[in-house]
Amino acid sequence: MLSDNLKKVYIFSGLDENELETLSKIVKQKTFNKGDIIFFDTEPYLGFYITVTGLVKIYKISKDGKEHILHLISPFNTFAEVPLFENFNEIFEDSFRYPANAMALEDETRVILIPGRQFRELLEKDTKICIKMVSGFAKRLRHMNHHIEELTLKDVTRRVAGYILKEQVNAKESDSISLNISKNDLAAYLGTIPETLSRTLKKLQDEEMITVDGKVIRICDMDKLKDFVV
């Protein structure tokens, strides 16, 4: 059910059944396959999105073709909401574009589009959403801070090791993680290239901190790994 999905989105978690009903009338659902483009940074801004199933990458491409992944958006998280609050007036002009590219990384990636204009009207009536929005942005800012810190203050090996540790904490099950993205994408997210990532994983294996088997990475020596990252 559509409104059930909306309810699971943090910024909408304070809305009652009635409001959710109203909201679900203005949204549009779309489904994408692996590799499909959700939007390019050259397209006019329509509104923001929610990932419902699958995975979405938000990325930029440099002029000479280098790609960097800014965010990976998992289910019930929003993306492309920032433009909505930047230039209240410019938004509905045709020249207003998405700030980055978005691509589905899995088959059956379902997303919900919240049209910008209607959402803005809703927002003016409901300040609960606004507070949630600030809080959501704060979380995002913290994430980006961390991302910049990683990229500028750590070498590739430490970034990779750090990523493994973070994923392990998120999964908080066993001592192993299963990558949900390709190693190409992981490289683009960690600010490097597939070849270097491959060599780095091997190095961490040689050091006996992890073992790698396809998409499964097992942490053998947690202390050593933690100690190494700092």
Partner DNA sequence: CGTAACCTTGATTAAGATCAATTCTCGTGG
Partner DNA sequence: CCACGAGAATTGATCTTAATCAAGGTTACG
Site residues for DNA per CB under 7 A? 66, 155-157, 182-184, 191-199, 201-202, 212, 214-215
66 binds its own copies (CB under 8 A): yes
95 binds its own copies (CB under 8 A): no
Q: Given the complex with its own copies, which of 83 and 115 has the nearer CB atom?
A: 83
CA distance linking residue 209 with residue 164, whole number of Å: 11
Q: How far is the CB of 199 from DNA (least distance, A)?
A: 6
37 binds its own copies (CB under 8 A): no
Residue 212 binding: pick among its own copies, DNA, none (C-beta 5-8 Å cut-off by kind): DNA
Q: How far is the CB of 99 from its own copies (least distance, A)?
A: 6
Could you say which residues in the range 133-192 bind its own copies, by CB under 8 A?
Answer: 133-135, 137-142, 144-145, 147-149, 151-154, 191
Residues that bind its own copies (CB under 8 A): 60-63, 66, 68, 70, 82-86, 88, 99-100, 127, 130-131, 133-135, 137-142, 144-145, 147-149, 151-154, 191, 230
